[in-house]
Amino acid sequence: MNSIQGPAIFLAQFMGDTAPFNNLITMAKWAADLGYKGIQVPTNDPALFDLEKAATSQAYCDDIKAQCAAVGISITELSTHLQGQLVAVHPAYDELFDNFAPAHLRGKPKERTEWAIAQLKLAAKASQNLGLKAHATFSGALLWHLVYPWPQRPAGLVEQGFAELAARWLPILDAFDVAGVDVCYEIHPGEDLHDGASFERFLKATNHHPRANILFDPSHFVLQQLDYLAFIDRYHDRIKMFHVKDAEFRPDGRAGVYGGYQDWVDRPGRFRSLGDGQVDFKSIFSKLTQYGYRGWAVLEWECCLKDSAQGAKEGAPFIAAHLINRATRAFDDFAGGSSDTARNRRILGLE
């Protein structure tokens, strides 16, 4: 029996204006034809998935689930990556992140934040109506411009930033708690939750809220030169989602982790299609299986070289080949013997 479910695919990088990518059910059929069993659904486009309707109509959710099931697909999770980003935006990024908001909210940061928080609360209810147990999102960032400590940061600044971030997220986390759904923050550069240390700060600021959990994506750790296997050892009890995405890091005499403002194809750290990068997926799947992870393995395709159609086609068999059938018996059972308290005491030399 597989402890990890899959393969599944995140639809965000594939949705578009032409068939089959402009309709959720036709995308589900497309994914099924490629060998996927699940889809992770973005919620920023009502034409693909109507988040407000899903939060208020059980019939809408039941109909979507039934239509997906009819083609052999489960909805694995919903995603509010773009809305989550807008929960916390430093003014330096206002204009750039305005693209994530509806047109009528652009140039109105306060109203944009209120809208984003409302979107997350809708996602909690929609996830509950769909019978889901985990939700994908970003944390947003008030401190990202301070990630490098120059100039020197004033004492208490980081703590204040995380206190404010927690204050914005706590009502959302409580709404997800009522819905019985985990909030899974993708640990990602550009977010205040971008590594283990920053995630721990957020946990402390939210009083270790039980719904504050992790979307594990090893590609972001390769680009930061963070030990993604040790990360699983340390945080496995909070890892509730898994993006299967590859990456590589090729530093040289011109650029390293920061990338020198170069485009993706020229950066030392860049995302790749599955199997084309440096991520040790055999060890990742082994560790997640060891720790009893029972969520989905979801392809997130991002590659600066390979076409998305090829990446999607190759992704399902790649994930399927890494799924582990958890052992149901010990390999040395054949050499075992009966056990009881008296026999054990004799073996220990106590009788």
The domain that contains 43 carries what CATH number? Answer: 3.20.20.150
- Give the pLDDT score at 250: 98
* Beta-bridge mates of residue 212: 183
The dihedral formed by the CA atoms of 310, 273, 127 and 202, expressed in degrees to the nearest 10 = -170
Report the alpha-carbon angle 320-324-329, nearest 5: 150
Composition of the chain by helix, strand, coil, percent to 5:
45, 15, 40
> How many independent structural domains does the chain possess?
1
CB neighbours of residue 299 within 10 Å = 27
Range of the domain at 127: 5-347
What's the confidence (pLDDT) of residue 332?
77
- Tens-digit pLDDT profile for residues 164-177: 999 999 999 999 99
Residues 205-255 have pLDDT tens digits of: 999 999 999 999 999 999 999 999 999 999 999 999 999 999 999 999 999
User: What's the pLDDT score for residue 327?
Assistant: 84
Quote the pLDDT of residue 331. Answer: 79
Query: How many whole angstroms separate alpha carbon 312 and alpha carbon 176?
Result: 31
- Taking 50 as the pLDDT cut, the residues of the chain under it are none
| Cα separation, 20 vs 164, whole angstroms | 42
pLDDT of residue 2: 58
Instruction: Give residue 1's pLDDT.
Output: 54
Rg (CA), the chain: 22
Distance of CA 16 to the CA centre of its chain: 21
The C-alpha atoms of residue 274 and residue 244 are separated, in whole angstroms, by: 8
Distance, CA of 281 to CA of 243 (rounded, Å)? 11
Of 112, 106, 136, the closest CA to residue 123 belongs to 136
Q: What is the pLDDT of residues 320-343, one digit of tens each?
A: 999 999 888 887 777 787 888 999
The residue length of the chain stands at 351
